Amino acid sequence: MATTTGVNSDLAKERNNSTFDVEELSNFIYRGPEKVKRRRYLHNLATKDPFFRKFKPWAFQTREEQYEICLQKHLYINKKCKELNLTEPVDKFFYTEAAAPHENSPIGLHTVMFIPTIEKQGTEEQKKRWLPLAESLKMIGTYAQTEMGHGTFIRGLETTATYDPRTREFILNSPTITSMKYWPGNLGKTTNHCLVMAQLYTQGKNCGIHMFMVQIRDLETHMPLAGIEVGDIGPKFGYGTNDNGFLRLSNVRIPRENMLMRYSKVLEDGTYVKPPNAKIAYGSMVLVRAAIVTDAARALAQACVISIRYSAVRRQTEVSPGGEEAQIIDYQTQQYRLFPLLATSYAMYFAGRFMYDFYLKTTAEIEGGNLDSMPQLHAISAGLKAFSSWMCSAGVETCRLCCGGHGYSHASGLPKIYIDVVPGCTYEGENNVMMLQVARFLMKMYGKLQNGEALPTFMQYMSTDLNKKSCMTEEVALNCLVMAYEHRAARMIRDAAASMEKLVQSGKSPVEAWNGSTVMLTWAAIAHCHAFVTKLFVETVVKSRMDSKVQSALTSLCKLYAVHGIVENLGGFIQDQFFDSKQVKILQKKLMQLLAEIRPNAVAFVDAFDYPDEVLQSCLGRYDGQVYQALYDYAKSSPMNEKEVLDSYYKYIKPAQNGKYQQYSKL
């Protein structure tokens, strides 16, 4: 029975019944007790700061208020980060996630893309000139690449930057309606500068797309400059806090020094100097793709916290007539929907940790002049970005559905998480397009394999003998699970390659053969990412040092991730009789066993993510489980309840009840 104060008794029982120490698992997730302490310190700084609590809740704000309040919060965050000397990206990330949870920043693009692009693509002189101005917010900028007509195919961008050697300037133009920049975050009303991606023309030749620094607003009045038309694109599915914008450029002249020239250059006389690799200009997209993996994992983890705590508190339906109503977490169908998502949130967290390390290592190599790992970094970041944002967005929505009616209310906190995470499937490269980039890399690797060339370690599974059958026994060993995923991926890669080969043999061109095989190529890329994430999860639980009880519980969760993925995608695993029907039955049985095994630890697993209530902002996911009082308080706080009788009653309902409809004819 739930009490109205203190911790809900069901939730308290859950915590008593877990088999491991939650603190130990938090230490493992966040890489040690010191880091957990630091994260808590940063969360506390934000959640205990009265500044962030003075605003009305996000769900009760109008679009204009969402923008304005979020802007104030992020400017304050910026100031505090400086005062507190928070320079590490991880520190800023933790402070911000607690200060303005899932409220997309009106100066976010400035921080996440504008400054990093100057840092990575600018010359020393450009960095010296712009970075201090950007750090002090005198320059506020965004990354303006996407146009109304083109987002994916960036070589097809239409904005032009034509070099005029007489004045040593570039002239920027949006020659058509489809060429106007459309979507860049913070562009509409906030920024005074943009990094504009445009087709470079010099000495009468098109040299492809390059980045240019363009001032769009006056630094004193903030009015658009001559030749600039700029504004907000209007309300969207979410991102109300963000002024995604449009921009038209008409004969805007900028000095030659405003082209980002660390790698490619235009000399004074108009001579073009090529970069060492044309794709080096895509580096800022790679950074954000890498960051999206952790961002998506965090969204799913928070949704699981909310949905699993609520499922432990919520009771519905007497199991036997007249008996006690069951906690909904005890229904096997609820477990089947939620526990694999819990496992997925851990898998994605570990993938995000890997991605962060790999990004830092590889970009350091690139900056040192060694570009060898660029294709791998591109393939892994594109694949993990797409895989994680797909899995996590869909997972957040399932968590919402698992909360029944209350999941549909903003009181649950789940819609806010969903609308924040789901555009990750589209921005920074639409997911299907990203998977096809992965497939392109896989086909290259397959070609190498055919030629007997060496493969990078993470691709060596492709040389597996596809006639081999699964080693799966009743024990359901982790290595047999990994082998299954790698077998499926290797076969799908081979099948996609065979499909292209067959089309070529039938007389199609390579491009036609590619286009005729993109579904199979996408299957192969998804299977590859699934294998990659599963192997990473397995290696993390097997090879890392951690408390033995935590390791045992985490091993069950990892097994659930792997077994569930096989059972849900069975067709791909049995197509070549890799598993026989007996092994399929073993896996199905194991899946049910794992649900039962994880059940006592479900709440402990979500507690270990260590998100304070102020971050979750959810009546259903509260640590104390007092969900009903919270829902009641939330309903009472609705602005709709400020008056007992609304003006609309007198204006519309009352007259209608009296048969009077004249007010409509006035319209």
Ligand X SMILES: CC/C=C\C/C=C\C/C=C\C/C=C\C/C=C\C/C=C\CCCCC(=O)SCCNC(=O)CCNC(=O)[C@H](O)C(C)(C)COP(=O)(O)OP(=O)(O)OC[C@H]1O[C@@H](n2cnc3c(N)ncnc32)[C@H](O)[C@@H]1OP(=O)(O)O
Ligand Y SMILES: Cc1cc2nc3c(=O)[nH]c(=O)nc-3n(C[C@H](O)[C@H](O)[C@H](O)COP(=O)(O)OP(=O)(O)OC[C@H]3O[C@@H](n4cnc5c(N)ncnc54)[C@H](O)[C@@H]3O)c2cc1C
**Binding-site string for ligand X from residue 377 to residue 406, where x marks contact by CB under 6 A and - marks none:** -x----------------------------
Residue where the block lists tokens 């008996």: 323
Residue 99 and residue 75 in contact, taking contact as beta carbons nearer than 8 Å: no
Tokens read off for 468: 């081999």
**Closest by CA position to 533, among listed 342, 378, 388, 399:** 388
Residue number, 318 or 357, with CB nearest to ligand X: 357
The footprint of ligand Y on residues 156-185 (CB under 6 A) is 183-185
Find the catalytic residue in 428, 474, 501, 644. Answer: 428
The footprint of ligand X on residues 574-593 (CB under 6 A) is none
Q: Among residues 8, 26, 145, 499, which is the contact residue for ligand Y, using CB under 6 A?
A: 145
Query: Binding partner of residue 244 among ligand X, ligand Y, none, CB under 5 to 8 Å per kind?
Result: ligand Y
Considering only the stretches 63-71, 340-348, 432-440, 527-535, report the one whose residues sit in contact with ligand X under the rule CB under 6 A: 432-440
CA–CA dist 131, 128 (Å, integer): 6
**Closest by CA position to 157, among listed 284, 287, 282:** 282
Q: Among residues 58, 114, 130, 143, which is the contact residue for ligand X, using CB under 6 A?
A: 143
Q: Among residues 15, 265, 440, 549, which is the contact residue for ligand X, using CB under 6 A?
A: 440
Say how many C-beta atoms besides its own lie within 10 A of residue 407's C-beta: 22
Q: How far apart are the first and last CA of the chain?
A: 55
3-state secondary structure of 69: helix
**Binding-site string for ligand X from residue 105 to residue 134, where x marks contact by CB under 6 A and - marks none:** ---x---x----------------------
Residue number, 183 or 579, with CB nearest to ligand Y: 183
Tokens read off for 24: 């130990």
Residue number, 113 or 538, with CB nearest to ligand Y: 113
Is residue 68 part of the annotated active site? The answer reads: no
In the DSSP assignment, the letter for residue 9 is H
Secondary structure of 544-611 as H, E, C letters: CCCCHHHHHHHHHHHHHHHHHHHHHCHHHHHCCCCCCHHHHHHHHHHHHHHHHHHHHHHHHHHHCCCC
Q: Among residues 263, 310, 427, 537, which is the contact residue for ligand X, using CB under 6 A?
A: 427
**146 annotated binding-site participant:** yes
Residue where the block lists tokens 């002249």: 253
CA–CA dist 180, 173 (Å, integer): 9
SS3 content of the chain, % helix, strand, coil (to 5): 60, 10, 30
The verdict on 139 binding ligand Y (CB under 6 A) reads no
Residue number, 249 or 392, with CB nearest to ligand X: 392
How many residues form the binding site for ligand X (CB under 6 A)? 33
Q: Among residues 225, 233, 433, 574, which is the contact residue for ligand Y, using CB under 6 A?
A: 433
Residue 464 and residue 487 in contact, taking contact as beta carbons nearer than 8 Å: yes
**208 annotated binding-site participant:** no
Considering only the stretches 9-17, 42-50, 128-136, 280-288, report the one whose residues sit in contact with ligand X under the rule CB under 6 A: 280-288
Residue where the block lists tokens 């999941």: 407
Query: Binding partner of residue 239 among ligand Y, ligand X, none, CB under 5 to 8 Å per kind?
Result: ligand Y
Query: Binding partner of residue 432 among ligand X, ligand Y, none, CB under 5 to 8 Å per kind?
Result: ligand Y
Residue 488: how many CA atoms within 13 Å on its side-chain side? 26
**Closest by CA position to 415, among listed 303, 337, 314:** 303
In the DSSP assignment, the letter for residue 263 is S
Q: How far is the CB of 152 from ligand X (least distance, A)?
A: 5
CA–CA dist 142, 117 (Å, integer): 10
**Binding-site string for ligand Y from residue 410 to residue 429, where x marks contact by CB under 6 A and - marks none:** -------------x--xxxx
In the DSSP assignment, the letter for residue 470 is P
Q: How far is the CB of 237 from ligand Y (least distance, A)?
A: 8
The verdict on 152 binding ligand X (CB under 6 A) reads yes
Binding site residues, ligand Y, CB under 6 A? 109, 142-146, 150-152, 183-185, 239, 244, 423, 426-430, 432-433, 436
Which residues sit in the known binding site?
A: 146, 185
Binding residue ranges for FAD: 146, 185
Binding site for ligand X (CB under 6 A): 89, 93, 108, 112, 143, 145-146, 152-155, 185, 279, 282, 285-286, 288, 290-292, 295, 355-356, 359, 374-375, 378, 427-429, 433, 437, 440
Catalytic residue positions, numbered: 428
